[in-house]
Structure 1
Amino acid sequence: MKFPNAQDIASTNVVYTYMQDTIEYAIEKMLEGEHRDIIVIDGENYYVLTAMEVLKLKEDHIKLSDQISHLNLRKIPAVVKETNVLNLLKYLDELSEYICVVNDDKTIYGIITHTDITSNIDPEVILDNYTIEDFLKLSRRVRWINKEVKTLDVLTHMHTSGNDSVIVVEDQTPIGILTTKDVVQLIKHQSDLTLPIKEYMNSPVDVVYKRTSVREALEFVKKKHYKRLIVVDEHDKLVGIISQKELILLTYNRWSLVMKEHQAELQEINTLLIEQNREYELMASLDSLTGLYNRHKFKQLYNSSLETMLQRLEVLSLIILDIDHFKKVNDTYGHIAGDEVLKTVAQILQDETRRIDMICRWGGEEFVVLLPTVSLEQAGQIAEKLRVKIAQTSIEQVGDISASFGVCEVKERKRLEEVIAKADELLYKAKKSGRNRVELCEGRGY
Structure 2
Amino acid sequence: MSTLFPAAEPPDLLYRQMFRTNPAVKLLLDPQTGIIVDANPAAAVFYGYPLEQLRGMKISAINVLPPEQIRERMAAAHSRRQQFFEFQHRLANGEIRDVHVFTGPVTVDGREYLHSIIFDISEQKRQHAQLEVYRDLFYNLPIGLYRNTPGADGRFIAVNPAMLEIFDAPSEAALFACRVADLYEEPANRQAISDELLAHGAIHRRELPLRTLSGRSIWVALTARRSQEPDGRVVFDGIVEDITTRKQAETLRDRLTHLLEASPDFVSITDAQQQVVYLNAAAREMVGDIPERLPEVIGQVHPEWAAQRICEEGISTALETGHWQGESAIRLRNGVDLPVSQLIVARRDRDGQLDCLSTIMRDLSEAKRQQAALAYLAGHDRLTGVMNRLRFDEELERHRDRGRPCLIMFDIDHFKQVNDRFGHAAGDRVLQKLAQVAQAQLRETDLLARWGGEEFMVLLPDRSLEVAAEIAERLRQTIADTDFDEVGTITCSFGVACRANDERQDNWLRRVDEALYRAKAAGRNCVQLAAPEREPCPALRHPAYDHA
Q: How does the TM-score come out when normalised to structure 2? A: 0.32
Indicate the structure whose relative CO is greater, using CA pairs within 8 Å and at least 6 residues apart. Answer: 1
The alignment's TM-score, normalised by the length of structure 1, stands at 0.39
Please identify the structure whose Cα radius of gyration is greater: 2
